[in-house]
Amino acid sequence: MKKIKAVMVGQPNVGKSSIINAISNARLHVGNFAGVTVEKKEVEVRKGEYEIDIVDLPGIYSLHAYTPEEQVTKRYLLEESYDVIINVVDANVLQRNLVFTLQLLDMRKKTILVVNMVDEVEEKGGRIDGEKLSQLLGIPVILASAKHKKGVDEILDRVIEVYHQPKCGCKIYYNEKIEEEIENLAKILLKSPHFTDYDQARFYAIRLLEKDEDIYRIVHDLPIFLELHEALGEAIRRLQLEFDVEDVRDLFADERNALAKSIVMQVMQLPRQETLTDKIDKILIHPVFGLPIFLFFMWGLFQLTFEIGSLPVDYLDQTITNFANWLKDILPPGDFNSVITDGVIPAVGAVIMFLPNILILFLGINLLEQTGYMARAAFLLDGFLKKFGLQGKAFIPLVSGFGCTVPAYMAARTLKNPKDRLITMLILGFMNCSARLPVYVLLISAFFATHSAGNVLFAIYIGGAILGLFVAKVLRMVLFKGEPEPFVMEMPPYRFPSLKALAMELWIKSKLFIKKAGTFIAGAAMIIWFLSSYPHHPDLEARYIQKIEQTQDPKLKEQLQNELAAKKLELSYLGQFGKMIEPIFAPLGFDWRLSVATISGLAAKEVVVSTLATLYAVGEGNEHSSTLVQKLREYVDFKAAVALIVIIMIYSPCVAAMSTFYAEVPQWAWRTFYTIYPNVLAWLMAFSVYQVLAFLGF
């Protein structure tokens, strides 16, 4: 068995991942690139006597890497060892993609070119001559469509074929005068034992002429550096004079652009016509109607999340309560019975209930992303976000934050400027993640009228976003003076989302969620149950049991039973802890149970709901089968409920999110700031809201 290692490189959105998914009989591994939290997808596939290993590198527009993700790809290309480069390009925008291909070909590595999305070109009535393209570039070319699985398996054959060639057959040369300078520099580089291969020296010479700092750093320590440095300066001066340019980088950009243009002219016919994207864009990013349409979409999403998502909630809630009661009767009484029926089932049930809401929200965000609308929203909001010291691209992590804060922190990598990135990350927590949804849905169902529920939910999400913008503005004025980074972004064409990919995402999401509920949340519930059931107080119990036996009145019996349960809970470890922290939350109208639930939310936001379920289930007689919502209405007042909502909106996200932030931001000062300020702010805001409501007479 021979091993071939290949890397898949291309500009963003050309369909690399789709191709990887379309390769038959491949085994997929998902991991991270060493040292960074950029997802690394790798497939292994057998073909004859070969085992081919393909790494999917993050999308990159140019070897002049700009974002941290592009830097990952560039570093991988320069430093890792691999046998073959698979360069994927989008046939629709061949010229732009070929400019990058020409940069790759400078490396003179064994390369194959996959021209993807030919189906779209053909649909528009266009044609591409793959053979001619292959002749011009000197490398194998495959016309492919990941969507129709066309040409995908041929990639493997070509990889094996070029693997056996002695070297790259690339035929691309620049203008004679440029090549002359390249050769001069390459010769100097070859004097160093660091270089054994002319092609590599040529590549380095080109990159040096283009002022590539990564390469400059490598040659900086070589003994030939002085000679090289001088020759480089002269070469640059000569080229600037010869071609009348201010910067040699422009010269290479012009050369490659002109080459790409002439190649496209020779191999492709693409009639220019108004595309569907043109038509849709006329409406969706209309100067006047664009923003209202965007707001309407967002509003609609939250209405759907609540209205459809909560249809099964009451039913699920009742079913779970009945199930717990049924189990309580058939299991032998004792601790085991109690931990299951009072601890785990209500807690896990309380969280599972909200799976439909979460799935709808995730589906919505995925749709925004996959259809290409997310980029339009960034376009529409850039001017607005700029006022708050952010930029349009920050919209993408911000919206992802509505799904889950963890990937949102990672999505902030698309921002190049470190200040922009930090500001965005510091306010991401105010974008309410879907784990907080159960808490809101629960509290809204308990304390607001059904007909206004969707609007209240929308207001919570909008309120969080507005607060985030406001904080961003303050941060920009106080801590991060300076202009936000420039905004230049590709607007991908609208595409019908792949239903398979959507279903797959939802399936993975549900699986993860149920797993989390069954493990992490069930575990947390057991701990909470234990802390709320121990220590036992035999004399107290004995006293009450005596009293209960003495009375004949069933009403009084029940009342005494409830009293006993409440006393036991208050004397438990959790009750003691709650009493200890109660003073902090007392100004917000929280009793110790709400205080404990709030703290437990730092583990994961769903745990707030499960903790409430456990705490309020324990304090109740057995005959009742009232639901959590009814109990909350009984025990919590409206002002405190709203204050709790405000706290949940603002205070620190869960530990998983916090550790992601720590991983992404190495400075201790920022980590400390990030850990403290949301909690202080949350308390202050909740206190103000509580006072205002009290003043208004609620």
- List contacts with ligand GDP (CB under 6 A): 10, 12-18, 59, 116-117, 119-120, 145-147, 370, 495, 498
Near Mg ion by CB under 5 A, which window of 14-22, 78-86, 211-219, 487-495?
14-22
Nearest distance from C-beta of residue 219 to other proteins, angstroms: 20
> Is the Cβ–Cβ distance between 56 and 8 less than 8 Å?
yes
Nearer to ligand GDP, 410 or 615 (CB): 410
Residue nearest to Mg ion (CB): 17
Nearer to other proteins, 95 or 561 (CB): 95
| Paired tokens of 393 | 């691209």
Nearest distance from C-beta of residue 88 to other proteins, angstroms: 16
Strands 127-128 vs 141-143: parallel, antiparallel or unpaired:
unpaired
Nearest distance from C-beta of residue 367 to ligand GDP, angstroms: 11
Distance, in Å, from the CA atom of 476 to the CA atom of 389, rounded to the nearest integer, reads: 6
Nearer to ligand GDP, 9 or 649 (CB): 9
100 scored as a contact of other proteins (CB under 8 A): yes
Nearest distance from C-beta of residue 163 to other proteins, angstroms: 30
Q: What sign does the CA torsion over 400, 402, 404, 410 have? A: positive
Near other proteins by CB under 8 A, which window of 93-101, 343-351, 465-473, 616-624?
93-101
125 scored as a contact of other proteins (CB under 8 A): no
135 scored as a contact of Mg ion (CB under 5 A): no
Work out which of 53, 106, 181, 281 binds other proteins, going by CB under 8 A.
281
Nearest distance from C-beta of residue 147 to ligand GDP, angstroms: 3
H/E element, 283: helix 276-284
The half-sphere exposure of 408 on its side-chain side, counting CA atoms within 13 A, is 29
Distance, in Å, from the CA atom of 373 to the CA atom of 298, rounded to the nearest integer, reads: 12
Which of Mg ion, ligand GDP, other proteins, none does 93 bind, CB closer than 5 to 8 A by kind?
Answer: other proteins
Binding mask 399-418 for other proteins (x = CB under 8 A): --------------------
Work out which of 17, 275, 277, 455 binds Mg ion, going by CB under 5 A.
17
Work out which of 78, 236, 253, 522 binds other proteins, going by CB under 8 A.
253
Of the candidates 8, 66, 7, the one whose C-alpha atom is nearest the C-alpha of residue 413 is: 66
Which of ligand GDP, other proteins, Mg ion, none does 48 bind, CB closer than 5 to 8 A by kind?
Answer: none
Residue type, 511: K
Instruction: Specify the 3-state DSSP secondary structure of 86.
Output: strand
Which of ligand GDP, other proteins, Mg ion, none does 392 bind, CB closer than 5 to 8 A by kind?
Answer: other proteins
257 scored as a contact of other proteins (CB under 8 A): yes
Distance, in Å, from the CA atom of 627 to the CA atom of 320, rounded to the nearest integer, reads: 9
Of the candidates 112, 102, 207, the one whose C-alpha atom is nearest the C-alpha of residue 161 is: 112
User: Residue 6: phi, psi to the nearest 5?
Assistant: -125, 150
Beta-carbon contacts of 101 under 8 Å, excluding residues fewer than 6 positions away, are 87, 89, 113, 137, 260
Q: Which residues pair with 54 in a beta bridge?
A: 6, 43
The size of the interface with other proteins (CB under 8 A), counted in residues, is 45
H/E element, 93: none
| Paired tokens of 146 | 């990941």
Nearest distance from C-beta of residue 370 to ligand GDP, angstroms: 6
Nearest distance from C-beta of residue 88 to ligand GDP, angstroms: 7
Of the candidates 49, 2, 8, the one whose C-alpha atom is nearest the C-alpha of residue 28 is: 8
Of the candidates 666, 507, 685, 467, the one whose C-alpha atom is nearest the C-alpha of residue 37 is: 666
Nearer to other proteins, 358 or 396 (CB): 396
**Residues between 490 and 519 that touch other proteins (CB under 8 A):** 490-493
DSSP 298-322: HHHHHHHHHHTTTTTHHHHHHHHHH
User: Residue 56: phi, psi to the nearest 5?
Assistant: -90, 105
> Which residue ranges make up the site for Mg ion (CB under 5 A)?
17
Residues near other proteins (CB under 8 A) are 61-62, 64, 66, 92-93, 95-96, 99-100, 247, 249-250, 253-254, 257-258, 261, 270, 277-278, 281-282, 285-288, 290-291, 375, 378-380, 382-383, 386, 392, 486-493
